[in-house]
Structure 1
């Protein structure tokens, strides 16, 4: 019989653990956003690159910061899931970016809400919120697994 780190009936993902994980994920996300913005600004300004090229490169930079922050910070106690966790992480983040673009496209072109405020609310507000939920789920489910972790409560 193995020792259980948690009493019967109490799951390992307590409210405190969820808050800690969400806070770590949010902090890493803010750092990744700052890296994305800084790289984009430098590539568009002094480097003189076009907006699509600059955004593609800044997206890779932001994803790299997010992956490192989550791997060595938020999910450091979990092993990567599968043979290519970095590729899966980038795919999850690309899916999040598509969610943001889809929200913007539906609002702007589908609903005819074309003001700058409407674009900001749909893309950076609603789109970002939905994309963040997708990224959180994808990162903890598809990229970093609690399976095989020492001290994991298994019910």
Structure 2
């Protein structure tokens, strides 16, 4: 494997690890909001799964940005004045539409509203598609400057 191939594989691995942590946070929060934190209480957003998904994933995006900035793409710099936060938020919100569309189709077009269907549509299918798009866009438009990486090649 070439140096750039190893570097890309490392970025993908670190990005997926950060994403896993953010996904766990989002998954727990989504299921608590939409399906209840325990069986004794009614879920606060049971009738509003899209809103629950947005709230849970905004919290997950904060976790994701911190991990992505400090670990997954730590060797990359950014030309954004705000350290890439605005671009990251824009990309996160835009790619969140993918799992939201999967959830909407499952709930409204297919009539499936049980926890398993919600999680398969939003947190498996939608998340996989959204995460792939988010990796490419984040790597290209948020942490795309390669000055530090090129300097490492000469070492």
- Please indicate, yes or no, whether the TM-score normalized by the shorter chain is above 0.5: yes
Change (3 A) 1:119 1:34: closer
| Kept in 2: contact 1:113–1:119 (CA 8 A) | no
| Kept in 1: contact 2:92–2:134 (CA 8 A) | yes
Distance (Å, rounded) in 2 between the aligned partners of 1:103 and 1:54: 14
* Deviation of 1:127 (Å): 0.9
| Kept in 2: contact 1:78–1:144 (CA 8 A) | yes
Structure-1 residue corresponding to 2:151: 151
Select the structure with the greater relative contact order (CA < 8 A; seq sep ≥ 6): 1
Structure-1 residue corresponding to 2:23: 33
Change (3 A) 1:129 1:20: same
The CA RMSD measured in Å over matched residues stands at: 3.3
Unaligned runs of 5+ in 1: 1-9
Distance (Å, rounded) in 2 between the aligned partners of 1:107 and 1:77: 40
Unaligned runs of 5+ in 2: 38-42
Per-residue deviation, residues 54-107 of structure 1 (Å, max 9, x unmatched): 655543332111111111101011012423411211121112221001122234
Distance (Å, rounded) in 2 between the aligned partners of 1:33 and 1:119: 15
Structure-2 residue corresponding to 1:71: 69
* Deviation of 1:134 (Å): 1.1
Distance (Å, rounded) in 2 between the aligned partners of 1:94 and 1:151: 33
Give the number of the structure whose residues are more often helix, by fraction. Answer: 2
Change (3 A) 1:107 1:33: closer
Answering whether residue 132 of structure 2 is matched by residue 141 of structure 1, we say no
CA radius of gyration, larger in: 1
